[in-house]
Amino acid sequence: MSLFNDISKVWSRYGDQILSGIANTVIISIIGTLIGLVIGLINGIIRTVPKPKNPVVKVILTVINWIINVYVEVFRGTPMMVQAMIIYWGYAYMNAGATLPLVPAGIVIVSINTGAYITEIVRGGIISIDRGQFEGAMSIGMSHFQTMLHVIIPQVMRNILPSVSNEFVVNIKDTSVLNVIGVTELYFYAASAAKNSYKIFASYLIACAIYFCLTFTVTRILRFAEKLIEGKANYTVFGSQSDSSAEIHVNTEKGGPENV
């Protein structure tokens, strides 16, 4: 019973603070994941550009690819907590002690880190698309960029959504490391509640429950989004061209479409 007492004590005293920490956790992880996704998509498109004939373009492309590879390897190969310290204090070092505002700094760190992972996810997603999709587009004269934009990326997005959701969930949890530079997110307030109330177990139990609620909600929402992207299994057959309102709904959930 005393645990419940502890929890309710911590909550009544520090609940508002902890709740305000949720806002920063959510904001940083959402924006960080979205920017990371954009970085990943751009890198993925650049990495799959077919070999150009022009030698100058070829050299430029090789250099860009090399930079992307270094970026991916470095940011995947080091802990985000260390990256946070280096980016935050590195900025201060080079700007005579002036520091970045904390929440934007957190967003930058999470974005860059997530971008490195999603670059690899996107690359895998593009490789997994059937070669025929590229050839179909090429055969009617579409450029690499047009093909990517209209044909490949929409399919890649559907395929990588589970992995990107995973990154998002990881980010909700991993924003907790940003407390090392003092970002006031959920963990930061939970830790300060623990320190000030001496009710360590109760404080972190609250944080744990909130983290789980956040990730579980997000997982369910994204699962729903996946279903939406997948689209309906039904389509509308038009009875005749002269009477396009004569629609027949064909259910293809079981078996193939019926010939009407």
Q: Which stretch binds another protein (CB under 8 A): 32-40, 116-124, 142-150, 163-171?
A: 142-150
Least gap, CB of 144 to another protein (angstroms)? 10
Nearer to another protein, 90 or 136 (CB): 136
Nearer to another protein, 16 or 135 (CB): 135
Q: With beta carbons less than 8 A apart as the criterion, state whether 218 and 169 touch.
A: yes
Q: How far is CA 198 from the centre of its chain?
A: 36
Q: Which residues contact 243 (CB under 8 A, 6 or more apart)?
A: none
Task: Identify the burial level of 53 via C-beta atoms within 10 angstroms of its C-beta, where 0-12 means exposed, 13-18 middle and 19 or more buried.
Answer: exposed
Least gap, CB of 24 to another protein (angstroms)? 36
Q: Which of 52, 79, 154, 162 binds another protein (CB under 8 A)?
A: 154
Q: How many residues sit in the footprint of another protein (CB under 8 A)?
A: 30
Q: Which residues contact 29 (CB under 8 A, 6 or more apart)?
A: 110, 168, 171, 172, 175
Q: Which of 12, 54, 245, 259 binds another protein (CB under 8 A)?
A: 259
User: Does the footprint of another protein cover residue 155 (CB under 8 A)?
Assistant: yes
E strand residue ranges, the chain: 235-238, 247-250
Q: Which of 52, 104, 182, 257 binds another protein (CB under 8 A)?
A: 257
Least gap, CB of 129 to another protein (angstroms)? 9
Instruction: Write out the two tokens for 10.
Output: 């911590």
Task: State whether the Cα torsion 197-8-183-103 is positive or negative.
Answer: negative
**What is the C-alpha to C-alpha distance for residues 177 and 98, in angstroms, rounded to an integer?**
22
Q: Which of residues 115-134 bind another protein (CB under 8 A)?
A: 132-133
User: Does the footprint of another protein cover residue 140 (CB under 8 A)?
Assistant: yes
Q: Which of residues 220-239 bind another protein (CB under 8 A)?
A: 231, 233, 235-239
**Residue from 71, 57, 8, 43 nearest 203 by CA:** 8
Binding site for another protein (CB under 8 A): 132-133, 135-143, 146, 150-151, 154-155, 158, 231, 233, 235-239, 241, 252, 256-257, 259-260
